[in-house]
Amino acid sequence: MQHVELGQKISLDDDQVAEFLRQDPAFFKRNPDLLELLDVPHNGPPGTVSLIERQVAVLRNREKATSEELVQLVEIARRNEQIADRLHMLAIRFMECANMDEFLDELIYGLRNSFGISAVKILIPDPEHAGERPELVPPEHALLGELRDVLLDGQPAACFNDLMTFDLEPVFGESHDTIRSFTILPIGGSWGGVLVLGSTDAEEYSPHAGTRFLEKLSKYAGATAERCLRKTG
């Protein structure tokens, strides 16, 4: 057998390929996937395509579309698994929080570092500690009331990417003009805190996007905040 150095290309002409296939007629039985790549025209009038060729083309296009769809589904599943893992770790860290300061620090850190969310607004009504940090506000806080009113009928998450009717400057400050979509999540039930997340991607918090992970985040944060409020109350 002729020695071929690594990286050296082997060039075969048509006669060599034909002779190889004559010597090894079982080649395509061992490599059936190569049959899909063959393009064998059928004799017919110029400009015409046989029914078999058309059927093969349709099947190939269908298989290509199915393969692309499968790749997309696998990528979505992988991304969802990563989000679920991060939420799980965040919930564990919430369980270790001993007070409201630790909870808020952990929530902000987790959202920004684990999930890459830089536009975050948290408002929690706490009459005894209002003003001690920006996230703790009196129950009658105007912005808190406005955001809470958006969560109509106790919905677990409200998502928006049509921002014409919203003034986001009080929520996100100087970065408000970069926000293209946002979501409002309730933190806690009866006392009504809110968590607002913003994104520069208009589809990130589209009204048509799924909210399953957002709802879990809302529940984890709400349960921890209520526990911490009871300890400091």
Residue 41 domain flag: no
Backbone φ and ψ for 184, nearest 5 degrees, come out as -115, 125
What percent of the chain stands above pLDDT 90?
Answer: 39
In terms of Cβ atoms closer than 10 Å to its own Cβ (0-12, 13-18, 19+), residue 116 is exposed
Residue 32 domain flag: no
Residue 42 domain flag: no
Residue 202 domain flag: yes
- Provide the residue range defining the domain that includes 147: 97-232
Query: What number is the average pLDDT over the span 50-70?
Result: 73
Half-sphere exposure of 229 (CA within 13 A, CB side): 22
Q: What is the pLDDT of residue 233?
A: 55
Tokens of 195: 């968590």
We report the CATH number of the domain holding residue 218 as 3.30.450.40
Q: What is the pLDDT of residue 180?
A: 93
Q: What is the largest CA-CA distance in the chain?
A: 89
CA 20 from centroid of its chain's CA atoms? 49
Residue 185 domain flag: yes
In terms of Cβ atoms closer than 10 Å to its own Cβ (0-12, 13-18, 19+), residue 145 is middle
* Predicted confidence (pLDDT) per residue in 62-117, tens digit: 777 777 778 777 877 888 888 889 999 999 999 999 999 999 999 999 999 989 99
pTM summary value:
0.68
The SS3 of residue 125 is strand
Instruction: With both helix axes pointing from N to C terminus, report the angle between 212-232 and 51-95 in degrees, rounded to the nearest 10.
Output: 0
Residue 134 domain flag: yes
Sheet with 181-187, strands from edge to edge, namely 136-137, 119-125, 193-199, 181-187, 158-160
Number of domains in the chain: 1
Distances (CA, A) of 174 to 2, 179, 205: 70, 10, 20
Ordered DSSP codes for 149-180? HHSGGG-S-EEE---TT---HHHHGGGGGG--
Residue 12 domain flag: no
Residue 52 domain flag: no
